[in-house]
């Protein structure tokens, strides 16, 4: 079999990389160091060819155009890595079950609202894992005012996660007892399962850029923001941690990625209570301006 020749790479100069890095920082908050140029070059070539761009300048005009929203979505997918699994970094879900569940159980009994946030939800495994962990210890969850907000900058992964459908390989990390309870086979697609309705009902997906305004007030009882801040520079990271600390309810948990650490002003409200797990101090609450909804 004769394969068609691979088209040559479209030139990607240092100036082109700096232009892209500047755009990514301004619009997405991403920090692209010079060392990432070879990786970005390899990934951006596919987008240049997909849009039949004759050079990088033409491509940049497209993504900067007011009508270039779809390509900006494709660009962010190319620049970030969506690696996720069910119950990844299991100690955070243990914290939900042991540290947070007793507090949430009392709030639910009093009829109070409970909100959790998966910030950087990718294809949905994280927020659905959060829901399963809660339902394991709070079986009345589905009947209470409990919601999990699942957001990501990448529209494509948000839309995929909202389907609630996963392959056999995807669900392998879910304990068998949970699989039997919370997953159903998709009848018309082999080796495909979907999340059961009681869990899907409490998880709501939305596209959100973390470096822009957040269209909700909180407070949240837990925020999972794991392996997201690694894409930001230190100043942006510290700003993010402070904003999230402000959105947490007193005693609420912030769970971050295994290679991330909270630094900066956010530490004035947060105390480390475990591996990459922080609790908001009860005496330092920043009051939200309203209840808001998620």
Q: Where do the H-state alpha helices sit in the chain?
A: 14-28, 37-50, 56-64, 69-79, 90-95, 101-109, 125-137, 155-163, 176-182, 197-200, 234-247
Supply the pTM of this predicted model. Answer: 0.83
Sheet holding 165-167, edge to edge: 165-167, 192-195, 183-185
- Chain centroid to CA 109: how far? 29
Phi, psi of 130 (to 5 degrees): -60, -45
CA-only gyration radius of the chain, Å: 21
Q: Would you state the pLDDT for residue 249? A: 95
The 3-state DSSP class for residue 162 equals: helix
Q: How far is Cα 181 from Cα 155, in angstroms, rounded to an integer?
A: 29
Per-residue pLDDT of the chain in tens (294 residues, 90 and over written 9): 544 444 567 888 889 889 999 998 888 888 888 888 888 888 888 888 888 888 888 988 888 887 767 888 888 888 887 778 999 999 999 999 988 988 888 888 888 999 999 999 999 999 999 999 988 888 766 567 889 999 999 998 999 999 999 999 999 999 999 999 999 999 888 889 999 998 999 999 999 999 999 999 889 999 999 999 988 999 999 999 999 999 999 999 999 999 999 999 999 999 999 999 999 998 644 444 334 444
Q: Would you state the pLDDT for residue 288? A: 40
Between the two ends of the chain, the Cα-to-Cα distance in Å is: 54
Q: How far is Cα 101 from Cα 77, in angstroms, rounded to an integer?
A: 35
The 3-state DSSP class for residue 126 equals: helix
Q: Would you state the pLDDT for residue 141? A: 60
Contact call for residues 280 and 245 (beta carbons, < 8 A): yes
- Chain centroid to CA 56: how far? 29
Contact call for residues 146 and 108 (beta carbons, < 8 A): yes
Q: What is the DSSP string of 32-74?
A: --GGGHHHHHHHHHHHHHHTT-SSHHHHHHHHHSTT-HHHHHH
Q: At 279, list the tokens.
A: 């609790």
DSSP state, residue 232: S
Residues with a known catalytic role:
43, 152
Q: How far is Cα 182 from Cα 231, in angstroms, rounded to an integer?
A: 33
Q: Where do the H-state alpha helices sit in 117-233?
A: 125-137, 155-163, 176-182, 197-200
């Amino acid at each position: 079999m004769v394969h068609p020749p691979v088209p040559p790479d479209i030139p990607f100069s240092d100036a082109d990389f700096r232009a892209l890095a500047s755009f990514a920082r301004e619009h997405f908050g991403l920090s692209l160091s010079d060392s990432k140029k070879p990786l970005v070059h390899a990934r951006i070539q596919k987008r240049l060819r997909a849009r039949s761009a004759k050079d990088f300048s033409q491509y940049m005009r497209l993504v900067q155009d007011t009508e270039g929203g779809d390509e900006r979505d494709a660009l962010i997918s190319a620049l970030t890595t969506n690696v996720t699994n069910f119950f990844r970094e299991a100690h955070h879900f243990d914290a939900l079950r042991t540290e947070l569940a007793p507090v949430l159980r009392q709030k639910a009994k009093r009829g109070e609202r409970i909100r959790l946030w998966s910030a950087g939800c990718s294809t949905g495994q994280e927020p659905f894992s959060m829901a399963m962990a809660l339902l394991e210890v709070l079986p009345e969850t589905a009947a209470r005012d409990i919601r999990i907000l699942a957001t990501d900058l990448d529209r494509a992964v948000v839309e995929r996660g909202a389907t609630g459908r996963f392959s056999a390989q995807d669900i392998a990390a879910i304990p068998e007892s949970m699989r039997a309870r919370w997953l159903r086979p998709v009848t018309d697609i082999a080796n495909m399962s979907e999340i059961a309705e009681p869990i899907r009902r409490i998880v709501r997906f939305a596209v959100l850029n973390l470096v822009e305004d957040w269209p909700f007030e909180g407070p949240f009882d837990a925020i999972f923001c794991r392996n997201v801040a690694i894409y930001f520079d230190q100043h942006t990271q510290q700003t993010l941690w402070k904003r999230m600390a402000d959105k947490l309810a007193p005693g609420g948990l912030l769970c971050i990625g295994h290679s991330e650490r909270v630094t900066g002003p956010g530490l004035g409200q947060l105390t480390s209570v475990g591996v990459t797990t922080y609790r908001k101090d009860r005496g330092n609450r920043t009051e939200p301006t309203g209840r808001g909804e998620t």
